[in-house]
Amino acid sequence: MKLIAGLGNIGVKLVNSRHNIGFMVANELVRRWEATWRPERLAFYSEAYKYGDKILIIKPTTYMNLSGQAVAHYAGYFGIMPENIAVIQDDMDLPGGKLRIKKKGSSGGHNGIKSIIAELGASDFSRFKIGIGHPINREDAVLRHVLSGFEQQEVPLINAALQKTADAVECWLIEGIEQAMNKFNGVEERTDVPMLPEMPAKERQTT
């Protein structure tokens, strides 16, 4: 059994924010597998039987900084070991749309990952990190940056990154983390894909 956790924040205003790119990939996987979401304890929950395994997909409803509560709950309830968990996250230290897959490691300053490590008591879960770019002024713009929407010129690159990350997660399920890293780390981003719908202005505002 495998557990996939796409990280993000709930709320209409944040649905298309940079911090929610993990939610976006989780949505794409559920769409591909013709599964459905339902509200459950601490998360939106979906499941599918693919590649010989039962696969659980969650979008924590705890907000980003407490993501570990949801991941640890489902991992504990179903007896899923950390090496069978994949977490999809945003990363400010990567260029927009860049995918980097890691087998394990520290939080890298990401509060969602920090929470998961603390709640699981382990750091050997796979991470699928998608670049969201870096704010120009780190001191006063980090929160505004991660909670803001993507600019229109970024959308084709981000849309391609969503598809590529979903492909990489499927590779992890079928072939394992090493093959996913070998095949997808360093792959050039494509932009010749359909653009995402433009976000309503009200959803691009931050609070």
Instruction: Express each pLDDT in 50-77 by its tens digit.
Output: 998 999 999 999 999 999 999 999 999 9
The question of whether 145 is a catalytic residue gets the answer no
Number of Cβ within a 10 Å radius of residue 76:
11
Give pLDDT tens digits for 31-52.
999 999 999 999 999 999 999 8
- The arithmetic mean of pLDDT across residues 3-31, rounded, is 94
Percent of the chain scoring above 90 in pLDDT: 67
**pTM above the 0.85 mark?**
yes
Residue 189 predicted with pLDDT over 80: no
Question: Greater confidence, 92 or 123?
Answer: 123
Query: Is residue 204 very low, low, confident or very high in pLDDT (cuts 50, 70, 90)?
Result: very low
**Where are the alpha helices (H) located in the chain, listed in sequence order?**
21-32, 67-78, 111-120, 138-146, 155-175, 177-184
**Of 19, 73, 110, 145, which one is the catalytic site residue?**
19
What are the structural domains, with CATH classification, of the chain? 2-204 (3.40.50.1470)
pLDDT band at residue 101 under the 50/70/90 scheme? very high
pLDDT per position as a tens digit, 129-169: 999 987 776 655 677 888 888 888 889 999 999 999 999 99
Residues in CB range of 76: below 8 A, 6 or more apart: none
Q: What is the structure's pLDDT at 158?
A: 92
- pLDDT above 90: residue 119: yes
Burial of residue 152, with CB atoms counted within 10 A of its CB: 0-12 exposed, 13-18 middle, 19 or more buried: exposed
In 3D, which of 1, 69, 9 has the Cα closest to residue 41?
Answer: 69
Query: For the residues 12-37, what does the mean pLDDT come to?
Result: 94
pLDDT at position 107: 83
Q: How far is residue 92 from each of residues 41, 76, 114, 134, 191, measured CA to CA in Å?
A: 29, 30, 15, 5, 20
For the chain, what is the mean pLDDT?
Answer: 87
Nearest Cα neighbor of 110 from 149, 144, 151, 142 is 142
- Asked whether the beta carbons of 169 and 29 are under 8 A apart, the reply is yes
For residue 139, the model assigns a pLDDT of 57
